[in-house]
Amino acid sequence: MRKNSLKGKRIAITAYELESKEHRGISSVTKSLIKLLNKYGADIFLITGLYTKGKKNRGLISKDNKFAIEIATDDICYQLNKGVDYRERFKSNSKYKIKLIFELCLQTFLLIINNFKFRYQIYNLTETHKSKNLNTRMAYLNDVAGFISIKYIFHICRLRSMRFLIRNPKLEINNIDLIISMSPLSIENSKSSSGKLTQIIHDLIPIQVSSHPENPYIFYNRIKDSLLNKCIYVSSESKRLIKKTIKINNLNYENSVVINPLPSLNLEILKKAIKINHIKEINRPFILFNSSIVERKKVEYAIEYFNNSNLSKNGVLFCIAGKLHDNKYCQFIKNLSKKNDKILLLNYVSDIEKAWLFLNSSLLISTSSIEGFGIPVLDALSIDLPILASDIPSHYEIGRLKDNSDIKLIRQNAGELWVKNLNKIEIFPLDNKEKKLNRIKSFNKFFCYIEKLSIYKIRKFII
């Protein structure tokens, strides 16, 4: 596939996950996709619900007011950098809750009188805007041409998922060839729109897992509404589950495609990470668990298997990288970890810290019960990091992406087998630069292979 095969194409990508305070799995997938599409020549615009907070800049800004547009663009960049946990803020801040309800009533009224079409404002990003946001969280802006600000778009789509609106809101954005929603939204493309709309479906976890914070009824409606479009599934298993679980009344299911996500690691950050001697208090060989700390990940199983192995006795650390929230499950994991000083709870790690962990680890362990795909396992596969993981369908699918991959899949509760395999791992020396360079070379080769497959399939959505 030619590097400029998407040159001249304008693609809009939803940025809801990038607005969040904690960048998790879908955020990584979003960043990787932005980078890929820009690499092949497309101009990328992020659809955001953020808008300028300045009193003089509220509402739609006139196109000839360059100063106001500059301030508004900086405002959005600042909010993206700061991030917010919408669910937590709504629960804890009464003032925010009242203001949000008022704003949503107003925006819903404006939507209805505009025949359910969203109003929007485009803000182009300059090199000055990008240089002001030189940090790992915002590095994706280097591949972004601008923002499409649609005030409270994700909140309004959620109102439709809750069935407070009688119709799906519509997108009609001029001069955009393709709109990609990075997660299912109750939204549709206007019939008069020149561009196409596709939605990415990752999993059905909010329906399958009772402890998930997302309401299963609302999520079901999100999926059902998204199926009005030609969708992209992150795995064959996700597509199979959709057909099994959701009542489908159109032909879009058969016409939809499976495009596996790209690794969340990238070559530039890996090259920076190899120059770092150590992070935090990690000064000896270790194995890695990298994921959100939630019940379906079964972190307690990983801790139990590590404690029962000989790794701890031999001085090997167990690094657990993932956001520790203020809830019962995370407190449970903290209490378990206190019993062994070789277990390090790293909490949330930056992109460069994550790259260092993967580059230096002896093994990635994943005891998850269910995944849409499994980005940490994919990341490990991409750099030839040995993997010990639960035998769930998505992990099998990842293993098939690479010949001779060092991935061992085990039944989740087969404790003795997990311990046996942990006892046999080859310890990776932290000071062996040559082996790290080999991992980076393996990553580059694998990434090039995956990205060509992805761009070939995505291009079919445009032409």
Q: Which domains does the chain have, with CATH numbers?
A: 10-258 (3.40.50), 267-447 (3.40.50.2000)
- State pLDDT tens for residues 426-460: 999 999 999 999 999 999 999 999 999 999 888 88
Residue 462: its pLDDT value, please? 78
Measured distance CA(101)–CA(1) in Å, rounded:
48
Segment 172-177 shows an average pLDDT of 92
> Does the pLDDT at position 62 exceed 60?
no
Residue 54: its pLDDT value, please? 57
Integer angstrom CA distances of residue 262 from 37, 112, 314, 432: 12, 38, 35, 27
From the list 412, 379, 380, the residue with the least C-alpha distance to 393 is 412
Residue 1: its pLDDT value, please? 56
Residue 362: its pLDDT value, please? 97
> Does the pLDDT at position 69 exceed 90?
no
> Does the pLDDT at position 253 exceed 90?
no
> Does the pLDDT at position 56 exceed 60?
no
Q: Kindly report the number of other CB atoms within 10 A of residue 69's CB atom.
A: 19
Q: Could you tell me the pTM of the whole model?
A: 0.90
Measured distance CA(312)–CA(305) in Å, rounded:
11
Segment 37-57 shows an average pLDDT of 84
In the sheet that 343-347 helps form, which strands lie side by side, from edge to edge?
343-347, 317-321, 286-290, 364-366, 387-390, 407-410
Measured distance CA(387)–CA(408) in Å, rounded:
6
- State pLDDT tens for residues 74-131: 899 999 999 888 877 777 778 888 988 999 999 999 999 999 999 999 999 988 888 8
Residue 198: its pLDDT value, please? 93
Q: CB of 48 within 8 A of CB of 147? A: yes
What's the pLDDT band for 191 if we cut at 50, 70, 90? confident
Q: CB of 352 within 8 A of CB of 364? A: no
Q: CB of 453 within 8 A of CB of 343? A: no
The percentage of the chain sitting over the pLDDT mark of 70, rounded to a whole number, equals 95
Q: CB of 149 within 8 A of CB of 173? A: no
The percentage of the chain sitting over the pLDDT mark of 90, rounded to a whole number, equals 66
Segment 168-191 shows an average pLDDT of 93
Residue 280: its pLDDT value, please? 85
What's the pLDDT band for 181 if we cut at 50, 70, 90? very high
- State pLDDT tens for residues 193-221: 878 999 999 999 998 888 788 899 999 99
User: Out of 4-8, 233-237, 317-321, which region has the weakest mean confidence (pLDDT)?
Assistant: 4-8
Segment 256-267 shows an average pLDDT of 91
User: Out of 128-132, 252-256, 392-396, which region has the weakest mean confidence (pLDDT)?
Assistant: 252-256
Buried b (16+ CB within 10 A) or exposed e, 109-124: eebeeeebebebbbbe
Query: What does DSSP say about strands 146-149 and 121-124: parallel, antiparallel, or unpaired?
Result: antiparallel
Question: If you search the block for the tokens 């994919």, which residue do you land on?
Answer: 378
Segment 375-404 shows an average pLDDT of 94
Residue 57: its pLDDT value, please? 46
> Does the pLDDT at position 316 exceed 50?
yes
Segment 351-363 shows an average pLDDT of 95
Higher pLDDT, 197 or 1: 197
Sign of dihedral through CA atoms 213, 288, 18, 29?
Answer: negative
Residue 245: its pLDDT value, please? 84
